[in-house]
Amino acid sequence: MKISLIAHDRKKDDLIQFVIAYQEILGEHQLYATGTTGQRIIDETGLQVHRFQSGPLGGDQQIGAMIANNDMDMVIFFRDPLTAQPHEPDITALMRLCDVYHIPLATNMGTAEVLLKGLSEGFIDWRLIKSNSSRS
């Protein structure tokens, strides 16, 4: 599965803790991230991560494009609901595309835990069937 990991600045420490806690599950999948989040995951966990641009420079949109191409299976996005972001339209667009394409999206740690536990139990295997039809 292809999983995106994204966190706003004040949520990055939480995401790193989360990734360390679920490293065993995450390590079995292809990981993608916005630029700064991805660099921190690489530096602090040693997991392999494909890094896109930083969020404010288009990273959210690059992940959105993968969703629109049926090429992303899950998004874990620790948003900061208390800080205005310069690229708010990109964030809204990314979450909207998750809804358009029925992509599991967690915007906080509680939901992210449920998603990863569900992933390891096979609850998201339907994505393999759906994505095989259009992936090369």
Ligand X SMILES: O=C(CO)COP(=O)(O)O
Is residue 80 part of the annotated active site? The answer reads: no
- Residue 73 found at the interface with ligand X (CB under 6 A): no
- Residue 62 found at the interface with ligand X (CB under 6 A): no
Q: Which is nearer to ligand X, 63 or 116 (CB)?
A: 63
In 3D space, the residue among 89, 54, 71, 56 whose CA is nearest the CA of residue 3 turns out to be 71
- Residue 105 found at the interface with ligand X (CB under 6 A): no
The one-letter amino acid at 20: I
Which residues does 106 contact at the CB level (< 8 Å), separation at least 6? 74, 75, 76, 77, 112, 114, 115
* Contact (CB, 8 A) for 1 and 132: no
- Residue 37 found at the interface with ligand X (CB under 6 A): yes
Instruction: Out of 14, 43, 60, 125, pick the active-site residue.
Output: 60
| Residues near ligand X (CB under 6 A) | 6, 8, 34-37, 54-56, 59-60, 91
Residues annotated as part of the active site: 60
